Chain A
Amino acid sequence: MCGVCGCGEGHSHSHDHDHTHEHHDHDHDAEHAHAPGLSQKRMVQIEQDILAKNNRYAAENRRYFGERGMLVLNLVSSPGSGKTTLLTETIARLKDDLDITVIEGDQQTARDAERIRATGVPALQINTGKGCHLDAHRVGHALETLQPKDHSLLFIENVGNLVCPSSFDLGEAHKVVILSVTEGEDKPIKYPDMFHAADLMILNKTDLLPYLDFDSEQCIQYAKQVNPRIKILSLSAKTGEGMDSWLRWLKAELELQRIDYA
């Protein structure tokens, strides 16, 4: 059962409502029944954000993280950018000092969660099936299973997709977009929504730069054009070059979350 949301989610629910509704209309709207041919149409002001429901769950998650002084990062990228390798390398360097948990989002298979568990930290795989992104509701349920510790670090590895996950707030402190140098420097302007939504961009696989025509400076300029506030780190998860800055960024951000604001 869903503790946070009491979700029934079901359409069977709404059918029940339809039925009670019909009775309701007959009982109270007698004037409509006496006016055949007269339209019963009317306007209803709604003014509701389409993502309001997701945003409510995200706010709930954010409150949960805040109460526990956790740092939660939503890692987004195209498939194959090296998110999971970056995670396993990061965990190997931090797990003796910090409590870390991971939520893995993929359409199918538990391969990534298995790779994370092999490092010795708890990981939960969410398979989105046909879905193209994680939503705040599913993340909330994952927390019930994972039970992350206070002051811990939670990585949410989103589905490899540079489009849809940008619209769905999961309650994270930051979206971190990972771009590998094999992808081409124009990704930030080709998929501007994601780079606009992210606070940090990691330029990964820099060990491959000598073999490619990738223009790092141009790429950084494009990213800043889409999002003037974005911070950028270049690294190679494979060789470890640049990892130190990333680890320092993580520790500094975790420290910020630990401040107990009034």
Chain B
Amino acid sequence: MHEMSLCESILQVLEQQAEAQQYSKVKTVWLEIGALSNVETDALRFSFDVVMQGSLADHAQLEIIEVPGQAWCMPCSRNVVVQQLYDLCPHCGSHQLQVNSGDQMRIKELEVE
């Protein structure tokens, strides 16, 4: 359940930003979650509601933007789409792939008041 600690990290960022960005309430949180990021979005949604209770983001809506996995295939010398870390290159079947996108977990933007 590391999704719980991820949500605690999100809350800390929201609290820190509240002062700098002059808001007292968070209505919506947009997260960018990569397909290869080791985050279970259902568990994240569940933990989010629990962790945000009683905070400045109580009842905030969580919007998850899913980012597809992408890797550089060394034999093909081009980017390919991958669903899993153990996927082979869909063109040449090689496993010499270097993930270059889709492993991110970012807070993208907020709707605040």
Contact = CB atoms under 8 A, between A and B. Distances in A.
B111 to A, nearest CB: 6
Contacts of A40: 113
B86 A189 contact: yes
Contacts of B113: 39-42
Contact of A192 (B27, B85, B106): B85
Nearest to A228: B96
Contacts of A47: 106-109
Given A18-B56, A25-B24, A167-B38, A46 B110 contact: yes
Interface in B7-57: 9-10, 12-13, 15, 17-19, 21-24, 27, 31, 37-38, 55-56
Given A17-B19, A18-B56, A45-B109, A225 B86 contact: yes
Contacts of B13: 46, 48, 50, 52-53
Contacts of A17: 15, 18-19
Contacts of A50: 6, 9-10, 13, 31, 105-107
A222 B86 CA distance: 8
A48 B2 contact: no
Contacts of B12: 53
B100 interface: no
Q: Bin the interface of chain A by size.
A: 35 or more
A169 to B, nearest CB: 13
Interface stretch (A91-99, A131-139, A238-246): A131-139
A47 to B, nearest CB: 7
Interface in B54-113: 55-56, 84-86, 88, 95-97, 99, 104-113
Contacts of A21: 18-19, 22-24
A43 B112 CA distance: 6
Q: Bin the interface of chain B by size.
A: 35 or more
A241 B46 CA distance: 47
Interface in A24-54: 24-25, 39-54
B86 A188 contact: yes
A44 B21 contact: yes
Nearest to A21: B24
A224 interface: yes
Contacts of A114: none
A164 interface: yes
A163 B38 contact: yes
Contacts of B97: 228
| 3 nearest CB pairs, A to B | A164-B2, A192-B85, A193-B38
Interface of B: 1-2, 5-6, 9-10, 12-13, 15, 17-19, 21-24, 27, 31, 37-38, 55-56, 84-86, 88, 95-97, 99, 104-113
28 contacts: A14-B18, A17-B15, A18-B56, A25-B22, A39-B113, A40-B113, A41-B111, A41-B112, A43-B109, A44-B110, A44-B111, A44-B112, A46-B17, A47-B108, A49-B106, A51-B6, A51-B9, A53-B13, A135-B5, A166-B38, A168-B2, A189-B86, A192-B86, A193-B85, A196-B99, A222-B86, A226-B86, A227-B85
